[in-house]
């Protein structure tokens, strides 16, 4: 089945799993990152057994050195065609002060894409974790145009993340 033939969910509301910074229970939040004047939407999706892209079934544990498939969906509501750079990082995170701060970043994937106005574009990606940890942030960072030399959550145009363990 080609990517274009797969069922793609709407991305006006994208759910992602986020573990609370203080630990404990997991919650499902809506990922909304769009102002009224046009924007870029991103989502991290999984492919189910029927070949559809869904916002469920995310792994909570990855294995170092073993590839994991994800789909990164980009929807452009900006005026005109936009070129994006998309980076996937695995991050060691310190939450001692209550807000997550990356203490180590490992880039797992990077690609560029152009998305036309009102176009929704899925990108099937394979990431292979290279570091081990109990609570790591798998982050997707999106930049308009080129990414800076040191990509971070703070300097990205759009971000999303999933908390994972890597054994």
Q: Per-residue pLDDT for the chain (167 aa), expressed as one digit of tens each?
A: 444 444 444 332 333 333 333 333 333 333 334 444 568 889 999 999 999 999 888 999 999 999 999 999 999 988 899 999 999 999 998 877 777 788 889 999 999 999 999 999 999 999 999 999 998 999 999 999 999 999 999 999 999 999 999 99
- For the chain, percent helix, then strand, then coil, each to nearest 5? 0, 55, 45
List Cα–Cα distances, 88 to 38, 49, 117, in angstroms. Answer: 24, 24, 24
pTM (predicted TM-score): 0.77
């Amino acid at each position: 089945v080609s990517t274009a033939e797969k069922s793609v969910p709407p991305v006006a509301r994208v759910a992602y799993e986020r573990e609370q910074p203080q630990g404990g229970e997991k919650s499902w939040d809506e990922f909304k990152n769009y102002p009224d004047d046009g924007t870029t939407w991103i989502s991290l999706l999984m492919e189910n057994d029927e070949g559809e892209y869904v916002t469920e079934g995310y792994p909570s544990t990855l294995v170092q050195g073993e590839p994991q498939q994800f789909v990164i969906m980009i929807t452009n509501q900006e005026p005109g065609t936009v070129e994006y750079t998309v980076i996937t990082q695995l991050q060691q995170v310190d939450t001692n002060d209550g807000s997550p701060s990356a203490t180590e970043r490992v880039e797992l994937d990077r690609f560029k894409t152009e998305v036309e106005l009102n176009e929704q574009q899925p990108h099937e990606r394979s990431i292979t974790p290279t570091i081990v940890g109990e609570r790591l942030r798998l982050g997707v960072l999106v930049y308009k145009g080129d990414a800076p030399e040191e990509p971070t959550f703070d300097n990205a145009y759009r971000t999303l993340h999933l908390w994972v363990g890597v054994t």
